[in-house]
Amino acid sequence: MKPGNSGGPLLDIEGNVLGITTAIAE
């Protein structure tokens, strides 16, 4: 599971969503 784009899974909600989406896409 990738962390958020901010580098922290809870520091940036949008980054976290994008990170999860990217992980699923890959």
Residues 6+ apart with CB under 8 A from 26: none
Sorted by where each begins, the domain ranges of the chain are 1-25
The full DSSP string for 1-26 is ----TTSSTTT-HHHHHHHHHHHHH-
What is the rounded CA–CA span in Å between residue 4 and residue 22?
Answer: 10
Please name the amino acid found at residue 24: I
The model's pTM: 0.30
- What is the model's pLDDT at position 17? 73
Burial 1-26 (b: 16+ CB within 10 A, else e): eebbeeeeeeebeebbeebeeeeeee
Q: Which tens digits make up the pLDDT trace of 1-26?
A: 455 454 555 556 666 677 677 767 66
**pLDDT for 9:** 53
